[in-house]
Chain A
Amino acid sequence: MTTTANRPTETTDPTTRVTPTSPAGAPAPAEPTQPVRRKPVLAAAGGPSVRPPAAAHLSDEDVERLGAELDAIRDRVMASRGAKDAAYIRRVIKIQRTLELAGRATLLFSRKRAAFVAGTAMLSVAKILENMEIGHNVLHGQWDWMRDPDIHSTTWEWDFVSPARTWKHTHNDLHHTWTNVVGKDKDVGYELLRMDESQPWTPKALGNPLYNLVLAPFFEWGIALYDLELPAWQAGEKSTEDLKRDLLDTGRKALKQFSKDYAATPGAAALFGSGKQAFWGTFTANAIRNLWAHSVIFCGHFPDGVDTFTEEMIEGETRGDWYIRQMLGSGNISGSRLMHLMTGNLSHQIEHHLFPDLPSNHYAEVAVEVREICERYGLPYTTGPLPRQVFQAWAKVCRLALPPRAERLPKGSVNQAPPTVRRSSPLPMVAHGG
């Protein structure tokens, strides 16, 4: 294709350039510092030695067909992205920034009770939108296709203590690749809570409800700490150099976040005699946002009916198997469009896990098809209203604080390893098309 583009003439044909270090075509020896490849790509055919119980009835061919159907959905929606979607994310960003500005401006006068309430409410909503529908999804690269450097996973930084870079690693890479594989996906309990029967019980687990109660309103600080991957460093899987870099970045980000919310903006409000109120208003907004994010995120993988997996179930996984694991390992939240927006469309957790880089405004339409596929292949599709899902997640937190029954035997009984209990029984909370 020719265009009217005029370019200078000095550009020589790059194919003719001689590369000094390695003769053309001959690969240079791999450097010893090359990181060990963590895993092979998905198997092209076949299946894992053990399929998850909920998918055990499917043959390799079934799984392949299911994978192809989901691929087709993805391809179709990806190809349909266009100006309307670009306008959507820009509109959400505009609304969010306007709300944040209005909220913080109102808090300048929060000495008045009405201003305190209105300002805190606006800032809470702004922070929720910023984290959920904008930050999380932009950092997933859902909007990278627009090639707008202002709305791009490589440049975005969010209103969250954890820096985008460290979060993208633990979330996009580790969590989304190893979804609910116990021992691999550290999001199963965030190395803090006992969230699966197969995680060994220790007395530390007794604190489950208490930890979660503290974690909820300070969720962003918990995630920032979690993203440092201290246990991985202790185990020698993460280098000290990497840890130092992450510590520095996180410290810097935390300081900026803290001074904005608790020094600079209340300081500005102090000029209007509202310093103290603005401080507490911002604190409340952060707490509300954290509580909301915590609730929504806990609904994603912890309610009843959501499965976890063993490492042997992912050995030999094909693309179809990977899709199945994402569907069995995630739970949706039912609700209104506003509800979906405020959860950043993580209410469509199943669809998000199938297609993490699909623009969030398309999950609702995709959900209809995914649900139909699940029905057709006899796979559970977990969904429910927010209060029920939150309740179930909390019930699990409390239930797993206690040791499995087998360990609660009277003293002196034979000390044998407890059977690993996996819930493969019919799932009462699973909605089958209803």
Chain B
Amino acid sequence: MPPFRALRRAASVLTTPLAPEDFLGLVNPLASTRQLRGIVTKVVPETADSATIHFRPGKGWNPHEAGQWARIGVEIDGVRQWRSYSLSAPAGADPAITVTAIGHVSTALVRRTKPGDVLFLDVPQGDFVLPQHPRPLLMLTAGSGLTPVMSMIRTLVPRRPDADVVLIHSARTRADALFHDELLELSDQFPGLTVTHWFTREQEGRRLDLTDFGDLETLCPDWRERASYACGPADFLDEATALWEATDASPEGSLTIERFARALLAGTGGEGGLVTFEKSDKEIEVDGDTPLLEAGEQCGVVMPSGCRMGICRSCLTPLVAGRVRDLRTGEVHGDEGELIQTCINAAAGPVHLDI
């Protein structure tokens, strides 16, 4: 919208060094030049430990495809924390995430979020999406891995009379099963959806065994002909992947998986590690007492620096992955995207820096 942009430019002459949005922010919390935000419109409890948070995103959000995820920022004790969550709402609807209370960020989201709260957002992304052309589908999910698949089912099943979807969802108990009633209703209403709930901890319950074909053959005999999607914990996906690799599946019988993953690199203490400077394309193995700044300088990275004692913050460098140890306090910290004072932080395990 050129007229809007021109107007904004004109207004910024009056507001510099701030942007007009900084003043609009006094009345409209979604106005920001730097940050995409959303306002929570509704919080729906799903199970005892999970809730769906609906939100209205501000300008700059892209409508999501079924199955995609988005980075969600939330403030906990004054600190912005980012995590990625799958969107559970169908494509075309206002976005919503379904969060299970595991870990302190997710727990805070489930327990404390209320309508009117502001969430910080990144645009939806991910390739775990429905196939381009109609095909019979098999969905294998466990726990909260159902979330992206729910978005697919909600998108596809009510709109496509020719849909043919089999869902096998594993949960500990019926009370823990996300979207349990809604799935049963959908499968009653639409013949294209078949739902099997697999409860591991109810009477006679056991793990869904994907180490061989047994369970799968019973639950979905034509699984080899279906385009399959799996989402769940790592071992669940590892088994599924191995199973599909061991099979001569038909060309249609591909498996698409979505992994649960957090910190790509786990640091365990102040033991040092391999530091990778991504943009400079350099890496160096250092001990736990060498500041990252010195590590960078040692291998020829032009590092920003200042006081070299942790007071001036000239050396702030974004962390891509890994954990670092504050040499002053011994505290091990580090979240994706966090700006690190390289002069007083050392590697705690492998570290990737965005420089």
- Chain A residues proximal to chain B, CB less than 8 Å: 1-11, 13-15, 17, 19-22, 24-25, 27-31, 33-35, 37-39, 41-42, 71, 75, 78, 81-87, 94, 97-98, 101, 104, 140-141, 144-150, 152-155, 157-159, 168-169, 172-173, 176-177, 253, 256-257, 259-260, 264-265, 268, 322, 356-357
Contacts and interface: CB of A to CB of B under 8 A. Distances in A.
A94 B242 CA distance: 56
27 contacts: A3-B106, A4-B99, A4-B100, A4-B147, A5-B261, A6-B69, A6-B85, A8-B128, A9-B258, A14-B320, A15-B274, A22-B282, A25-B284, A27-B299, A37-B308, A41-B309, A94-B26, A140-B313, A146-B75, A147-B81, A154-B316, A172-B311, A172-B312, A172-B313, A260-B14, A322-B309, A356-B311
Contact of A14 (B75, B233, B352): B352
A85 B311 contact: no
Interface string B121-157: 0000111100000000000000011011000000000
Interface residues on B, range: 35 or more
Given A3-B260, A22-B282, A260-B15, 18 more contacts: A3-B83, A3-B106, A4-B147, A5-B85, A8-B125, A8-B258, A14-B264, A14-B321, A19-B281, A21-B282, A22-B284, A27-B299, A38-B308, A42-B309, A82-B77, A150-B32, A159-B17, A268-B14
A39 to B, nearest CB: 7
A172 B106 contact: no
A34 B17 contact: no
Report whether over half of chain B's contact residues are helix, strand or loop; otherwise say mixed.
Answer: mixed
Nearest to B314: A173
A149 B318 CA distance: 13
Contacts of A6: 69, 84-86, 126, 128, 145, 147-148, 231, 258-260
Contacts of A264: 13-14
A71 B34 CA distance: 35
Interface in B273-293: 274, 276, 281-285
Contacts of B298: 27, 30
Judged by DSSP, the binding face of A is loop
Contacts of A2: 102-103, 233, 260, 262
A2 B264 CA distance: 12
A157 B17 contact: yes
A172 B300 contact: no
A102 to B, nearest CB: 11
A357 to B, nearest CB: 7
Contacts of B262: 1-3, 5
B316 A153 contact: yes
B297 A176 contact: no
B350 interface: yes
B22 interface: yes
Contacts of A176: 307, 311-312
B247 interface: no
A232 to B, nearest CB: 15
B175 interface: no
Interface string B319-337: 0110000001100000000
B148 to A, nearest CB: 6
A94 to B, nearest CB: 6
B264 A25 contact: no
Contact of B312 (A1, A71, A104, A168): A168
Contact of B302 (A9, A34, A82, A253): A34
B338 interface: yes
A380 to B, nearest CB: 23
Contact of A256 (B16, B99, B106): B16
A145 B77 CA distance: 11
B219 interface: no
B276 to A, nearest CB: 7
A175 B69 CA distance: 46
A78 B311 CA distance: 13
B237 to A, nearest CB: 9
Interface string B252-264: 0000011111111
A150 B35 contact: yes
Interface string B226-249: 000001010000000000000000
B23 interface: yes
B78 A24 contact: no
A305 B159 CA distance: 80
A119 to B, nearest CB: 15
A9 B103 contact: no
Given A7-B259, A34-B297, A15 B103 contact: no
B80 interface: yes
Nearest to A153: B313
Nearest to A257: B16
A5 B26 CA distance: 32
A20 B35 CA distance: 36
